[in-house]
Amino acid sequence: MFEHYEQALYLLQAAFTVWMLIDAFRRGEGYWPWVILFVPGLGAWAYFFVVMVPRWAGGRSWSLPAFRRGPSLEELRFRAEHSPTLANHLDLAERLAERGEHAEALPHLDEVLAREPEHCRALFLLAKCHAELGQTDKAIPCLEKIVTRERYWSNYAAWYVLIELRGEAGDAAGAADSCRQLARLSPTLRHQCLLAERLLDADQPGEARQVLDVALREYQYAPLNLRWRNWRWASEARRLLRHIDTVERSA
């Protein structure tokens, strides 16, 4: 019997590895396919927790490439001081942001953007730093520039953070409007759920219900592979509908 369990676990691990590998290749995740291939078992699980889980979680995700090996912070400071290129300033700012030294990163990002005002990575890092320093009013314009210039940048990362920051700033209508734009741009079930959440925050349960009803109807008749990929968001959509029912009954 133990051998049967062992075989079943082996098959599950193999299927999981193939799933992670396909996802990494499809999304162009740099070196990750090689990590998955050449570090059997552990590579697939590392990809799952470092890349996929934060992506599923949505919201503010500031994650940067994992397992970074490179120059020390002191060397990056030396490079930026003695060879103040755009790349050196950006590398130093990125490392400082990783370490939580957001105020120190700001002047280096300003240097980058003085030379290339629409540099999306620099704008995103600048938004991060301002947000972490409690300067939401300065972070939001940076994200607006990104979504205007490159709407699909970094798998919609700027959209997610823009929506969250508008919500944190008390602009429920603005957050809902950004969600509408994102849902039109990429009408995935995840984005429909995000839109419904923000509509509820904006006290618009009727529109939220309509969005979820349409999304679940499309999910019901989608191909099996898409239903399997989006089952988590289908569950979330149903949970939101139950919440709307509860709110409407208590009103």
Question: The dihedral of CA 21, 26, 32, 34: what is its sign?
Answer: positive
Spell out the residues 6+ positions from residue 105 whose beta carbon is closer than 8 angstroms to its own: 92, 93, 94, 96, 97, 125, 129
Type and span of the H or E element at 3: helix 2-27
Residuewise pLDDT in 10s, the chain (251 residues): 555 667 778 888 888 888 888 877 766 566 788 888 888 888 889 888 887 776 654 434 444 444 445 788 899 999 999 999 999 999 999 999 989 999 999 999 999 999 999 999 999 999 999 999 999 999 999 999 999 999 999 999 999 999 999 999 999 999 999 999 999 999 999 999 999 999 999 999 999 999 999 999 999 999 988 888 888 899 999 999 999 999 888 86
Closest CA to 123 of 134, 112, 136, 132: 112
CA–CA separation, 125 and 142 (whole Å) = 9
Question: What pTM does this model have?
Answer: 0.72
CA–CA separation, 60 and 159 (whole Å) = 10
Residue 88 token pair: 């050196």
Residue 115 token pair: 């030379």
Residue 134 token pair: 């409690």
What domains, with CATH codes, occur in the chain?
A: 13-47 (no CATH), 73-163 (1.25.40.10), 171-251 (no CATH)
Residue 231 token pair: 């089952």
| Residue 245 · residue 200 · CB < 8 Å | no
| Residue 149 · residue 118 · CB < 8 Å | yes
